[in-house]
Each structure stands twice: as C-alpha cells, then as structure tokens.
Amino acid sequence: QKEVEQDPGPLSVPEGAIVSLNCTYSNSAFQYFMWYRQYSRKGPELLMYTYSSGNKEDGRFTAQVDKSSKYISLFIRDSQPSDSATYLCAPLTGGAQKLVFGQGTRLTINP
C-alpha cells in the first residue's frame, strides 16, 4: 500500500463549479499537509498547507484534514480555467523534511 493515495483523474468540470480533490494516507505520524499545484511543463508550486486536523481557507481554496480517517481534501470554489493544472497532496511528519507526494490529480476547468 502506498503511503499516500490520490486519484489521478483526469477530472473535468465547467467553469464556476466547486471542485473537490482528495487524498488518503496511511502514516498516522503525518502532521503537516501540503497542496502543490503543477502547471504543464512547470515545477510544482506550493498552494497552501495545514497543520494537524481542521480547515484552512485562502481565497477560493479551502484545505481540510481529517486525521481520524486519514483523509485530506482541497476545495476550489468558483473554479476558473486558470485553475486547470495537476494538484498534488504531500503530507509530512513533524520535524521531517521528506515530502511524500500523491500521484496528483489532473484537473481541467472548461470555459
């Protein structure tokens, strides 16, 4: 079993829709939960991160962590064509530096 599982998609939704991207993980020691966005032929860029369980909001993006079920979510409200990218979840244990990336979900927002 992989440490981090993420549905690779592809996921295609119309502009303006609410998008839900999800990961599950197996290591209960993970404490930090990163979301990276990767545009085609570019490197991943950090979108947002959360510590432990709970929600964090940043503009149209909300990250949610449920440590009891080992489930990570990223919600995008009012999705835009510019949100079309691959989204990677990457949890991290406290004090560690080794990110473990999910496979990434390829998202397309159709105008």
Partner 1 sequence: DAGVIQSPRHEVTEMGQEVTLRCKPISGHNSLFWYRQTMMRGLELLIYFNNNVPIDDSGMPEDRFSAKMPNASFSTLKIQPSEPRDSAVYFCASSPQGRPQHFGDGTRLSIL
Would you tell me which residues interact with partner 1 (CB under 8 A)? 34, 36, 41-46, 49, 88, 95, 97-99, 101-104
| 94 and 10 Cβ atoms separated by less than 8 Å | no
Nearer to partner 1, 59 or 98 (CB): 98
Distance CA 37, CA 49 (A): 12
Nearer to partner 1, 95 or 111 (CB): 95
Nearer to partner 1, 15 or 45 (CB): 45
To the nearest whole angstrom, how small is the minimum distance from the Cβ of residue 86 to partner 1? 10
To the nearest whole angstrom, how small is the minimum distance from the Cβ of residue 3 to partner 1? 11
Q: How far is CA 4 from CA 14, 15, 17, 42, 111, in A?
A: 28, 29, 26, 22, 31
